[in-house]
Chain A
Amino acid sequence: MADKITVGHVHMSGCTGCLVSLADNYEGLLTILDKYADLVYCLTLADVRHIPKMDVALVEGSVCINDECSMEEILETRENAAIVVALGGCACYGNTTRFCRGGQQNQPQHEGYLPIGDLIKVDVYIPACAPTPQQIRNVCLMAYLLLKGNDEQKALATAYLTPLMNLAAAGTEACGCDLMTEVINQGLCCGCGSCAAACPVRAVTMQYGKPQIERDLCIKCGACYAQCPRSFFSFDVCGQYESITNLIAEVMKP
């Protein structure tokens, strides 16, 4: 199938929950593998031992800088993949591995963990812990349109992916605090409540119409800020929600 793109799943210091999320597209994943993408690398699902050349690398987990093999693999990933996607909160922002501090058997010196963007250039972010099956599906389909589509499809895919590329360019730190520093402090919060819905640990509640962040509950996954309509909002893309939703439903037909 020459017109498929090649995709790999690279597992750094992650929990495989991001891969489970991809699999939780159920038959949708089979449609993607049938029509749009060949899975060329994924230690959990296939027997390819070394990171091959690929169009898209979905990288899950952060990198333990005290583990030489991990350092080599993240470099190899960048060298072998045209598009590097940080899949999930750990790869984007460190997430729970931000709290690592070493001192545990059997590698007490394994204490330094960094989001992949601190070590290599990352093209696209899919934040959250866990990232949603639908968001991963959308990025895969858009990557396919970007690489294999006609001009119109390429333009749509570019418009769609741009905010996720901007997140990747913006940095590797995330926290519930982003709602304060980047939204409320900037005079942008409209009190919609999306952040509270997105939070996987219920660290965000709405008090008098504004998010209240329980920072000791927050696991630094980046979901709240990315979901907030006042972090990024594209009229161009969201204004076409009906046609884009129909397009996705159409191409996902088995």
Chain B
Amino acid sequence: MTNTENVKKPAKTPRVDMPCQPAAVRAHNFKEVALGYSLEQAQLEASRCLQCKNPRCRQGCPVEVRIPEFIAQVVKGDIAEAYRILKSTNSLPAVCGRVCPQENQCEGKCILGVKGEPVAIGRLERFVADNAMHDPCVGVSDNDACAVTNPDLKVACIGSGPSSITVAGYLAARGIKVTVFEALHEAGGVLIYGIPAFRLPKDVVAAELDGLRQNNVEFRTNWVGGRTVSVQQLFDEGYKAVFIGVGAGLPQFLGIPGENLIGVFSANEYLTRVNLGRAYDFPNFDTPTYPGKHVTVFGAGNVAMDAARTALRLGAESSTIIYRRSRAEMPARHEEIEHAEEEGVKLFELVGPLHFNASESGVLKSVTLQRMALGEPDASGRRRPMPIEGEVFEHETDLAVVAVGTRSNPILLEATPGLELNKRGYIVVNEETGETSIPNVFAGGDIVTGAATVILAMGAGRKAAQEIAKRLLG
């Protein structure tokens, strides 16, 4: 292929659309919305890549996936090799291909995006991961060698979400024995309890975790970091380094009257009941969910979208998102907002909650809302929502979900003396190495940054793993 052919292609070939379940159908099931590319679709999309010499896309990826290289293998049809390239820096490609905000990361940097549409890197990553078998010798090691485990070198991860999984995958591939301690009964963190199956099927997560188990990573569930086991105890038991990836977790509430009425839930509770507890299959599974006819969700991030879309799937007649800023400021991915609207989720922009109101039987009946206008930019640089005097109205709702963010969970932190925290209660780390104020204790993900994305947590995990590997292996 000559360069000129390559340059012409993108103008002719539009970005290949992702096949999806029709909105009217998918709004009533928990099956995955996006169905994935066929081989032909993947190859057509892959052929749009210009194979840049200095790939900007790779710089946009927190785990530095060798993007042009894996895409070149897709063009050739060597999916196994493409998978090996992906796995060399990314322990969760099937997850990342689905839930990364690619528009702000790899695809946001793609040169094709300047004049047209960027290469669908996420969709291609997903295609490769879904279609390649797990090979125990393929690991996140910065090299492809099949590791020989050294029984004396062991590392503990506390928490089993994306950052810890990345650490485990990376170190396991370098022959270091990793034990992951998880407080809940199922490993995976937010991938299991938070992100719904219609965006991330649970068998995809299970397959990724099985890949790690084959690579000698041990998962211990029902181990509560700071309660069942402490950081000091782990060192006493011979672990050479400890990685803390316990997430943020603690939900924030609105702090308005009536918030403790029956019918008001945190998004964490609502989603944990449905996803981890399989409450969508109650009473075959014992965890119940609360039925709501008119569901209202507060917040406009991905978690809010997940909750609003889950409500429709559980049979709600209406599902409404309340956001005090305007659509342009919504932090959720555009794709998720579009999907939600196609399914029938309504958006109320520039509206804030004042108080929840109870029915005669004492349960949630409505919420009183205040219309807002955008004023001057605030400390965050976004225009501050200001109440419009007199513009107050009541909105009927029998199930409210609060998705306005999380705070740091103190359980492990309180049990770990000497761990330096910032003013907001998150762990302070060395930016170069991920190391905390305690030597050989590393941290990454939401417990360092506050609530962020799966891929940023993975990037932090990879950085810490590189440093741990350097120290233990020299």
Co-assembled chains A and B:
no
